[in-house]
Structure 1
Amino acid sequence: MGYAFSLDDVAYLRSAAGCAALSALADLPLTPASRLTDVRRARQVAPERFAAVLETLLLRRKAPSKVDFTDGLYTDDALQQATPRAVAEHRARRFAGRVVHDVTCSVGADLAALPAGSIGSDLDPVRLAMARHNLGGRVPLLRADALRPTSRDVPVVADPARRDSAGRRTWRPADFAPPLDRLAAAYAGRDLAVKCAPGADFAVAPWADEVELVSLDGQVREACLWTRGLATPGVTRRASVLSSAGPSWTITDAEPDDCPVTPPGAWLVDPDGAVVRAGLVRHYAARHGLAQLDEHIAYLTGPTPPPGVRAFRVVEHGHYNEKSLRGVLRAHDVGRLEILVRGLDVDPNALRRRLKPAGGAEATVVLTRIGRTPTYLLAHAERT
């Protein structure tokens, strides 16, 4: 759960003395091996606040992958839940030209991406103090309970906490703080966007007009539940695939989903996780002229993979068992082996140890189920 900051800690970290201590200790290794030495030196520089200083330095080193505040202040939980900047900016585009109220603004990471004039509130005074520091006084902030509306006639965005009182992650929307159903009820007449973990059960949120799953650089980062005027007419499910290095794209359930089920073809395609979690595998297949291997499995196949994805050129395929697969790997001189599994109860790491591949070639083995048949596909991964 990390260090529990107090308001006095935040005041110190923002003071001239605190800034001097952070600067003086910025070169600490902060590794498990250096912990005792780091603590000893920090006690010498900031005897009353050494723990707050050390935690802040550690969190600042983790922060750039998510937020880019200069000399930011964070709690461990707040940083873990913060949205990567590219995802926050993607979400904020739906609010273009509108003032927005972030009712769970925490340390201000998502609020920083919202349109100018937006406001923030939170019930935690420590996080609010950190947000004031991080946002440099540019955004109006107030202490308020998200379940007691303090604004009117503006859209609302919320990011409920997803850990229980013991700090354990929870996936049940009823256990979020605040709970999803109570949050939806509090803003029933307002345009509302709620950020959620992508693994949540969205069937318990029938009030959401559109559910969007968002990935960044191949990793599913969040789901967003959109209501009323923020939702897209005719769309109930959307997958948005963002990339730091290339174009981003989106797909919705308003698109056709006609796709056949065929035996393995020249290529195997594993759709982005946002597409899979949004239930849009068939729509993605129809867009790119692909087929399913099995109507219940998310692997796709076809003569040509979509551009800009990591796809697998199929070398051979057949009925899977360990003995036959061991022979296939030996015949193809495979030593460096990636194992992907979907639809079968197989532990890739345990299987690799049992197979003991020892050749000089590199390959990927995809293990899946086609109908009731356990199937292997030997393939070479390529970037299209």
Structure 2
Amino acid sequence: MSSGLRFTAADVDYLGGDDGRDALAAVAALLLSDATRIADVDTARRRFGDRAPVLIETVLLRRRAAAKFADPRAWLFTDEALQQATPESVAAHRARRLAGAVVHDVTCSVGAELASLRSVAAQVVGSDLDPVRVAMARHNVAGVDVLVADALRPVTRGTVVVADPARRAGGRRRFDPRDYTPALDALFDVYAGRDVVVKCAPGIDFTSLPRLGFAGEVEVTSLAGSVREACLWSAGLAEPGVTRRATVLDRDETLTDADADDCEVAPAGRWIVDPDGAVVRAGLVRHYAARHGLWQLDPEIAYLSGDERPAGVRAFEVLEQIDFNERRLRQALSAREVGAVEILVRGVDVDPDVLRRKLRVHGPHRISVVITRLGAGRDSRAVAYLCRPTH
């Protein structure tokens, strides 16, 4: 329901003052749901006149922010700033790696990273090119120096530079890092020789980074089962010998390419394990397998197997393996009286949603089907594992 309204510096002054805080408390008491929206907006307009839009927008943004922040009730956001804001636990993890450093967040936006950094860094300063976001950051992270400055025109020396370039323009995502704001290659050029930490989209092409001027460690971080970001740590901040890292915050687990990666390729055992997306994206599937006593089903596929599943990890207990085609799978599901099926696919050109509709299953039981490719070239074949899922 958020409208993406553009805030002004005067709006920020009002919202951060006593009158604004009282008005926000009153608007926060309204449901502002689809069913009550017209009546609630009318109520806000009658009470607060021209201030109603910024009050309503702020309340709605704070409600959305609860998915990223433990307590956003006093925060000020813009819609775009909230979309790009780092979840609090991810920012806290990054801040811990910078404990004791003097840090300058050169794209601080409304202050999400600053809030985590100020409790562990020796000193923190923030800057942003948008004066409205700077005003919001000063409100959100009181006591931290925040100024208006261009990230590509350094205003500090000897600091660790943290940057989170914007990856959207006009609501559209930009995939080429040279089209970020600021551009990734320009950042590395301007801060050459400095310790730099840059947040990027998890889908960034890692092989392109050296051409953009980056040398160091790529850390892929996941939270709540979802890959959230790739973070680039320049060589001076990277762990010696490490160029790739996967951090799974939910399980407090970290893997690097310096860890052992000796695992076998063998037929499925009792369990099939689908590694966390951060592990897969960082290219550390073999390292994960070696740590947990698992093996690969195929050397090019990320599914793993084992006779025991790692503690706390979702896995699939293999009930039956068949060569995959729709007719054979439909027959196997019918024989087991399956009425609900979850389909996971890797290495095979199958759309799970389309296949699920074609299967037309009926019955009281639920099952998971893992479809993958085994072998290469003329020896390649698609197989389906009928499994009992665990959570």
TM-score interval w.r.t. the shorter chain? over 0.9
Q: Which runs of 4+ in 1 moved over 6 A?
A: none
Residue 65 (structure 1) shift: 2.0
Per-residue CA shift, 1:11-51, capped at 9, x if unaligned? 12122322222111112222234332232222112211221
Residue 342 (structure 1) shift: 1.4
Paired with 1:196 and 1:310, the residues of 2 have a C-alpha distance of: 27
Paired with 2:215 and 2:79, the residues of 1 have a C-alpha distance of: 30
Q: Are 2:331 and 1:327 aligned?
A: yes
Per-residue CA shift, 1:124-170, capped at 9, x if unaligned? 0000010111112x101111000111111111111011102x22112
Q: Are 2:6 and 1:4 aligned?
A: yes
Paired with 1:188 and 1:46, the residues of 2 have a C-alpha distance of: 50
- SS of the aligned residue for 2:66 comes to helix
Of the three residues 156, 160, 164, the one matched with 1:155 is 160
- SS of the aligned residue for 2:175 comes to coil
Per-residue CA shift, 1:181-211, capped at 9, x if unaligned? 1011111111100011111122222113000
Of the three residues 230, 233, 236, the one matched with 2:240 is 233
Of the three residues 273, 280, 287, the one matched with 2:284 is 280
Residue 116 (structure 1) shift: 5.0
Q: Match for 2:125: what amino acid? A: I
Paired with 1:129 and 1:110, the residues of 2 have a C-alpha distance of: 15
Paired with 2:27 and 2:73, the residues of 1 have a C-alpha distance of: 17
Task: Name the residue aligned to 1:95.
Answer: 98
Which ranges in structure 1 are unaligned for 5 or more consecutive residues?
none
Task: Name the residue aligned to 1:269.
Answer: 273
Question: Which segment is superposed worse, 349-358 or 363-372?
Answer: 349-358
Q: Match for 2:93: what amino acid? A: H
Which ranges in structure 2 are unaligned for 5 or more consecutive residues?
none
Q: CA RMSD in A?
A: 1.4
Residue 239 (structure 1) shift: 0.2
Q: TM-score, normalised by structure 2?
A: 0.93
- SS of the aligned residue for 2:345 comes to strand
Task: Name the residue aligned to 2:20.
Answer: 18
Matched residue count: 378
Question: Which segment is superposed worse, 210-219 or 330-339?
Answer: 330-339
Paired with 1:100 and 1:69, the residues of 2 have a C-alpha distance of: 23
Query: Would the aligned equivalents of 1:5 and 1:126 in 2 still touch at CA under 8 Å?
Result: yes
Q: Are 2:306 and 1:299 aligned?
A: no
How is 1:115-154 mapped onto 2 (pairs within 5 angstroms)? Answer: 115-136=121-142, 138-154=143-159
Q: Are 2:341 and 1:337 aligned?
A: yes
Paired with 1:373 and 1:224, the residues of 2 have a C-alpha distance of: 37
Per-residue CA shift, 1:111-134, capped at 9, x if unaligned? 111125211111100000101111
Query: Would the aligned equivalents of 2:32 and 2:41 in 1 still touch at CA under 8 Å?
Result: no
Q: Match for 2:335: what amino acid? A: A
- SS of the aligned residue for 2:168 comes to coil
Task: Name the residue aligned to 2:226.
Answer: 219
Query: Would the aligned equivalents of 2:165 and 2:183 in 1 still touch at CA under 8 Å?
Result: yes
Task: Name the residue aligned to 2:200.
Answer: 196
Q: Are 2:115 and 1:109 aligned?
A: no
Per-residue CA shift, 1:37-73, capped at 9, x if unaligned? 2322221122112211111010010112212344110
